[in-house]
Structure 1
Amino acid sequence: MADHKHGEMDITVQEKTFDAFIKWVKWSVIAIIATLIFIAIFNG
């Protein structure tokens, strides 16, 4: 079995995926909050 050496694996694809996921979550939360504020203001 091969010895594991910390820090040698290429993780650029995982980093790009994680960055895209975080960006998607951030904009989704902003859209949800904006929708709730809109509903609170114009619903009476």
Structure 2
Amino acid sequence: MAEHKHGEMDAHVQEETFAGFVTFVKWSVVAIIAILIFMALVNS
């Protein structure tokens, strides 16, 4: 088993994945709020 050396892991792929996840969540929340506002306006 290889020795773990702190600070040597390339985390570039994980950082890109997390950034994509944050973007997805942000736009999902915006879409959900827009749908709820639309539903509230149509139901009135």
Q: TM-score range by the shorter chain?
A: 0.7 to 0.9
Equivalent residue pairs, number:
44
TM-score (norm 2): 0.85
Moved beyond 3 Å, runs of 4+ = none
Q: Tell me the alpha carbon deviations over residues 1-44 of structure 1, each in whole angstroms, 9 at most, x when there is no partner.
A: 44322211001001000000110010001000110011101111
**Unaligned regions of 5+ residues in structure 2, if any?**
none
Mapped to 2, the partners of 1:4 and 1:30 lie a distance apart of 41
Residue aligning to 2:32: 32
1:5-44 equivalences under 5 Å are: 5-44=5-44
Q: Percent identity?
A: 66
TM-score (norm 1): 0.85
Mapped to 2, the partners of 1:36 and 1:18 lie a distance apart of 27
Mapped to 2, the partners of 1:6 and 1:26 lie a distance apart of 32
